[in-house]
Structure 1
Amino acid sequence: MFHLHAGECVFLYEEIFERRCYAGNGLRLDQNAPGCIFDVGANIGMATYFFHKEYPGKKIFAFEPNPRAFEVLSANVARLGIEATVLSCALSDSPGTAKLTHYPNKSCMSGLYADPEADARTTRAYMINEGMDPEDADFLLSETFAPEQYDCTLTTVSSIIDRDRIESIDLLKIDVEKAELDVLRGIRSEHWPLIRQAVIEVHDFGGRLASIRGLLETHGFHSTVKQDPKLKGTGLYDLIAVRPDEETRGSRAR
């Protein structure tokens, strides 16, 4: 794959293809059923490629507002023959424009709410949990979070549903570095029943995890929360949300 940083590309491959963070945990997709996948925060397209390989023929919408990452995403989609619509925008709670912070050495942590000091602390905790010496972690992180800023376009999940006349979203994958609640607030009430499953990286600050779980439960989802042991102490969690009828269907299949 084309990439912005070789080490980051290897990390994404291991997380998505080897540890299969977007498979299992109650998530079930039928490649022959109608519906599509929303990859919100697609970065260079590693998850988009995973969905393409796992569910060939399933329509994918890949959203990436970072212009540097979007260029690589588009190149990977073309090179790998992925059936995907790639959109250079961020999903939020309302249309508009915003400033996006890009980290050239850590593009997957770029975003609308980027905070270099906080993001460095999160990465440092991960590195130490992985067994790295704290002084070595500090040395490696000294230039990692030097920010660049770009203007980006904002739209909403509901705007895309309206525009493309989408009838079903099999999986809503969200990895948007602290903007996950904004994405969910951009779904109008009449569109929630179209979403069957979701997997969301949640940054738990200001009660964000409880707010997102409550919102999903209000709209009929059962949710579970997991945390990679390497992320202990970071406030980063994976939330998996599935409708009860999907759980029942999966039980019958087994």
Structure 2
Amino acid sequence: MSHNPGPETEPTTKLRVQSFIERATRLWEDLRYKQHRLRSDTYRVAVGEAEADLYALSKSEYLDFARLPERGILEELLSDLRPDDIFYDLGANLGLYACLAADVLDTTIVAFEPHPKNADRLARNAELNGSKVAVHRVALAASSGSAQMKLSPGFGPDNLGSAGHTLLTEYYEEESESVPVTKLRGDEFVAEERAPPPTALKIDVEGTEMDVLQGLDSTLSRPECRLVYCEVHEDRLDSQGYSVSDVSDFLASRGFSVERRSIDGYQSFIRAEKV
């Protein structure tokens, strides 16, 4: 006797539909990427009045630029910048923020990226756009010296991109690869006059926010240092005994008016401004 399983339940139907949509989306994105690579090895990112051409030599790079999940943050940051700002980009990665900022500023962008391959691509992207970007292959921190940068799971030293690389060596499993990098105290960088003191900073350092801020204590206390956009990684801060409130309180005690934001559900960040 045959058995009639009966109609599928509503949750099962929803799962099947969701799975179908995900597969179709992946196929569509594969097709878009392959079509794009036939035409160009770069991708033009436009945010407001700013534009930048960026090398997109892998599907993940292409999708990062095409989807641009941080568009809302970029729009707000770029609109806050003034033409004469000295902009420091900490955790510059492949140069998305640096190259877009260079398109709206009259000054040289000061970009910090310790990962060797990412720094190479950052320099290439700046050259591609004719952007005034000074690339410093160091990680700003509370103390100077050498360190190991733990790479996101599945990444090797030759892989580019990824927003997950961190100096928190205990954060990922032991089998995650790492690369040696150089740390430099931020106030020391400024004191040595390697670049003019910043008036605006973007900080995306994957959990070492407090370490970076402590190293920039004197710099952030300067009256002309007026604007900070800092991504905050709550779980990584917590692993060191810090909280997002500690980041906010640190900036507030240096004269900033602080607000915590999240645009379109993307990574939380702190916007701090002296008014």
Say whether the 8 Å CA contact 1:169–1:195 is kept in structure 2.
yes
Q: Shift of residue 52 of structure 1?
A: 1.2
- Contiguous gaps of at least 5 residues in structure 2: 1-53
Within the candidate set 112, 117, 127, 1:78 is matched to 127
* One of 78, 87, 96 as aligned partner of 1:46: 96
Instruction: For residues 27-75 of structure 1, give each alpha carbon's deviation from its aligned partner in whole angstroms, at most 9, with x where no partner exists.
Output: 62220x3x410000000101111101222x2221110011121111111
Say which of 228, 252, 260 aligns to 1:225. 260
The aligned counterpart of 1:239 is 270
Report the TM-score, using the length of structure 1 for normalisation: 0.73
When residues 203 and 52 of structure 1 are mapped into structure 2, their CA distance, relative to the original with a 3 A threshold, is same
Structure 2 residue aligned with 1:250 = none
Displacement, 1:210? 0.6
Q: Which runs of 5+ in 1 are unaligned?
A: 118-145, 245-254
- The yes-or-no answer on 1:10 pairing with 2:63 is yes
Kindly state the Cα deviation for residue 173 of structure 1 after the two structures are TM-superposed. Answer: 0.3
Structure 1 position 216, deviation (Å):
0.6
* Alignment-derived partner of residue 147 in structure 2: 98
The SS at the match of 2:55 is coil
Q: Of 113, 124, 128, which residue of structure 1 is paired with 2:168?
A: 113
Corresponding residue of 1:155: 184
Change (3 A) 1:78 1:165: closer
RMSD, aligned CA = 2.7
Count of aligned pairs between the two proteins:
209
Cα distance change of structure 1 residues 190 and 239 upon mapping to structure 2, 3 Å threshold = closer
Taking structure 2 as the reference length, what is the TM-score of the superposition? 0.68
- In the aligned structure 1, how far is the partner of 2:188 from the partner of 2:198? 14
Query: Which structure would you say has the larger RCO, counting Cα contacts within 8 Å and 6 or more residues apart?
Result: 1
- Would the aligned equivalents of 2:187 and 2:219 in 1 still touch at CA under 8 Å? no
Distance verdict in 2 for CA 1:61–1:203, change over 3 Å: same
Identity of aligned residues (%): 25
Matched position secondary structure for 1:22: helix
The verdict on how the C-alpha distance between 1:190 and 1:148 changes in structure 2, with shifts beyond 3 A counting, is closer
